Amino acid sequence: MHSKLRFVSALVVLSFGLTQYLRASEPAFKLQKTWKLGGEGSWDYMAVDPTSHILYIARLSRIMLVDLLSGKLVTEITNLTHAHGIAFDDQGKVGYISDGGAGKVLAFDRATYKILATIPAGRNPDSVLFEPTQHRVFAFNGGSHDATVIDVATNSVITTIPMPGKPEFSVTDGAGNVFVNIEDSRMVLRLDAVTLKTTASWSLAPGETPSGLAIDAAGHRLFSVCDNKKMVILDSQTGKLIATPAIGEGADAVAFDPADNLVFSSNGESGTMTVVNAAAPSGYNAIQTLSTMLGARTMAVDPSSGTLYTVSAALGPRPPASPSNPKRRPAVLPDSFVVLVYSR
């Protein structure tokens, strides 16, 4: 009897794994909608509020809020200097914006969109995240090479953690660990959210100049997208190199969809999005390349539907490199900004 139960259990597990693998191996994502929003300015990170089903888009001097059902602009959070990232608490009440130009993090009410507090950070806070076990916000400061840690109960700074280089995007596993890419050292750090100490630093070689970072918390995998057209996948517990699937050029964001075990890389310089199968036994192979637009370098995934969102605009000629524009990003032509919506 016991052997039969074990056999049946093994079949169930095998069937579930096969179903996940087949589902992930047949993505067939297509462009479904294009929402023209217009407006001046470049863009940075995007985030989907899972509570209100609103897409947040950083647009330098403001954050645009877009209704995911209608594609219409709901409102804007304005009077920012150089908005980079958006994070949400786990209660559905408060959001956080990193204003790199002002060197501050802004807490806002997700129902009224009013600013609740303005908290000093380091120079050019970029990536920002909410860590749920300690109820702390981490803002990673690209200019001062450190991280500002904020107590959300008091909206006050707890400490500043030095970084061994320029921090880029960050994620948390929801279990007390925070991970951040170090762009100029091609490594990823693991921080303890309780002690606020670095507990590990792992090489991202053969990746170079990492930017976007995503996590499969249940599967213990980190996904870093790098400038040399590689996605570097590490074990988030040991730092072991798992795979390096090829992606497009100019990736600045990566997202993981746990429902379908898929990883997405938005590649702004090639105008594509790479879909990678993260379901065993796939071996993390790229299974679809979507055509997007030149400049569509950031993205977001709606966890409730698996829908993908990326943004871009009509662009002017590429300028020469300068201290204020080292990545030679071209000017945005007026009133051409759009959201591209992809789903199965």
Question: At 131, which CATH number?
Answer: 2.130.10.10
Does the pLDDT of residue 3 top 80, yes or no? no
Mean per-residue pLDDT, 294-305: 96
- What pLDDT shows up at residue 141? 98
Mean per-residue pLDDT, 56-71: 97
DSSP designation for 267: E
Cβ-contact 243, 224 below 8 angstroms: no
- What pLDDT shows up at residue 250? 96
- What pLDDT shows up at residue 114? 98
- What pLDDT shows up at residue 25? 54
> Which range marks the domain in which residue 174 is found?
2-343
93 φ, ψ (degrees, to nearest 5): -115, -40
Q: What is the pLDDT of residues 85-102, one digit of tens each?
A: 999 999 999 999 999 999
How far apart (Å, rounded) are the C-alpha atoms in residues 175 and 310? 29
Alpha-carbon separation of residue 172 from 133, 176, 189, 344 (angstroms): 10, 7, 11, 28
Cβ-contact 121, 83 below 8 angstroms: no
How far apart (Å, rounded) are the C-alpha atoms in residues 55 and 276? 23
The tally of CA atoms less than 13 A away on the side-chain side of residue 299 is 41
| 286: helix, strand or coil | strand
Q: What is the pLDDT of residues 96-150, one digit of tens each?
A: 999 999 999 999 999 999 999 999 999 999 999 999 999 999 999 999 999 999 9
How far apart (Å, rounded) are the C-alpha atoms in residues 112 and 115? 9
Cβ-contact 105, 94 below 8 angstroms: no
Mean per-residue pLDDT, 166-175: 98
pTM: 0.90
Burial-class residue 83 by CB neighbours within 10 Å (0-12, 13-18, 19+): buried
What's the chain's average pLDDT? 92
- What pLDDT shows up at residue 7? 47
Q: What is the pLDDT of residues 4-26, one digit of tens each?
A: 555 444 444 444 454 455 455 56
Mean per-residue pLDDT, 260-278: 97
155 φ, ψ (degrees, to nearest 5): 55, 45
Domain count, the chain: 1
